[in-house]
Structure 1
Amino acid sequence: MTTGSTRLSKPARREQLLDTAMTIVRAHGTDGLTLLSLAEAAGVSRPVVYDHFGTRPGLLIALYRRLDERHRAASEQALRDAPAVPREIARVLSAAYFACAADMPEWTAVSAALKGSQEMEAIERELLDAYTDLMVTALRPHSGLPREDLRLRCVGVLGAAEAIAAELNRGRATVATAVAALTDLIVGSIDAAAPQSRTR
């Protein structure tokens, strides 16, 4: 355990605290995560934790943003590694979307703990916009649509993805069937406007 006497830069201390917070959520859920429990687990004083996050919602939002950064980095790497054909790009985007639930259960827990927060709603919109832009950038070379029209289709596809995720959470779908369904929706959406991109 890191002790309070260990000298870390402010960014390094923040990373250490977020790592510790992630461990607490994994072991005890978000109910077990408070500024006090984090300070105790990280071996620092309470003022150190307050200085970084201010409030418990502030801590949860920082954790949510950190999870999103990791998810985005993994998605971008997977896209770089994917063959430059529509179906493979669509499959990678679909797999990345549903990887949140499968690979990062903390994401769902933190999101649920922040439900009803106006700040969280604003952040979710911001992150959804960013993910939409990621999709548009990846798909645009394979679509004849103007950027704004393609973006609107991506917004619609992500709405469908959210509905599929709800079915997945209810046990009415598997990750494999969810990925396959979303892949087909993405491919169908861009193919409808760009028959020349049907090569797979």
Structure 2
Amino acid sequence: MTTTPSRLSKYARREQLLDTAMAVVRAQGTDGLTLVTLAEAAGVSRPIVYDHFGTRPGLLLALYRRLEERHRTATTQALRGAAHIPGEIARVMSTAYFACATDMPEFNAISAALKGNPEMEAIQYEMLDNYAEAMAAALLPHSSLTTEGLRLRCIGVLGAAEAIAAELNRERTTIADAITALTDLIAGSLDTEPDR
């Protein structure tokens, strides 16, 4: 007796396609990922892939959003377990930030492949806002700054974090030194009394 394989729901199929796309990026880089190569790797027809993503940038944006969501979730969970001490919160944030570079190396490759895409720019601003707001919310009990003042400092710290991540990607620093530097910057952003 033969059985007919059950069809995946639209959500399950999309997740399967994104898993397969991530595997293609890991093995071949973003240049090796097209809607056609994804269909072949996933063992599905091309129209199925086109139905889910429409275009190659649509596929890359879906992958980027997925990685960003995983990173945000990991950071939120790590902050829940952190001791309510400013230095510890800063260390947890720094560790989570750079975990993205080591645990999700595809993040930078996908981001680079989407340079110049207007939708990608909007997603990056959204991501920056979300991350800065999460940082500010975690740090606010330890600062006498206004919410907006602290959020603005967090935006600045995240700019520095991106520069440190570039040094890490160029192998000009270690993950431990990157975490220490960012931890110090975050903790230093809480200093609300300027030297006179």
TM-score, normalisation: structure 2: 0.93
Report the AA paired with residue 193 of structure 1.
T
Report the AA paired with residue 85 of structure 1.
I
Moved over 6 A (4+): none
Which residue is 1:193 aligned to?
192
Provide the C-alpha distance between the structure 1 equivalents of 2:141 and 2:63, rounded to a whole number of angstroms. 34
Task: Specify the SS of the correspondent of 1:8.
Answer: coil
**Structure 1 unaligned blocks of 5 or more:** 195-200
Identity of aligned residues (%): 72
- Could you report, residue by residue, the CA deviation over 1:174-195 in whole angstroms, capped at 9, with x for unpaired residues? 11001101101111111x117x
Give how far 1:166 is off.
1.7
Give how far 1:6 is off.
4.2
| Superposition pairs of residues 123-142 of structure 1, within 5 angstroms | 123-142=123-142
- Root-mean-square deviation (Å): 1.5
| Superposition pairs of residues 8-27 of structure 1, within 5 angstroms | 8-27=8-27
**Structure 2 unaligned blocks of 5 or more:** none
| Superposition pairs of residues 93-108 of structure 1, within 5 angstroms | 93-108=93-108
- Could you report, residue by residue, the CA deviation over 1:104-151 in whole angstroms, capped at 9, with x for unpaired residues? 111011111111111111111111111111101111111111100000
| Superposition pairs of residues 41-56 of structure 1, within 5 angstroms | 41-56=41-56
Task: Specify the SS of the correspondent of 1:22.
Answer: helix
Give how far 1:27 is off.
0.9
Provide the C-alpha distance between the structure 2 equivalents of 1:146 and 1:25, rounded to a whole number of angstroms. 42
Task: Specify the SS of the correspondent of 1:83.
Answer: coil
Q: How many residues align?
A: 191
- Could you report, residue by residue, the CA deviation over 1:60-81 in whole angstroms, capped at 9, with x for unpaired residues? 0000000011111111111111
Which residue is 1:198 aligned to?
none
Report the AA paired with residue 59 of structure 2.
L
Which residue is 1:112 aligned to?
112
Report the AA paired with residue 139 of structure 2.
L
Provide the C-alpha distance between the structure 2 equivalents of 1:114 and 1:90, rounded to a whole number of angstroms. 30
Which residue is 1:150 aligned to?
150
Task: Specify the SS of the correspondent of 1:193.
Answer: coil
Task: Specify the SS of the correspondent of 1:128.
Answer: helix
**Farther off after superposition, 48-57 or 136-145:** 136-145
1:178 and 2:178 matched = yes
TM-score, normalisation: structure 1: 0.92
Which residue is 1:166 aligned to?
166
Provide the C-alpha distance between the structure 2 equivalents of 1:159 and 1:105, rounded to a whole number of angstroms. 19
Report the AA paired with residue 192 of structure 2.
A
Report the AA paired with residue 76 of structure 2.
E
1:80 and 2:80 matched = yes
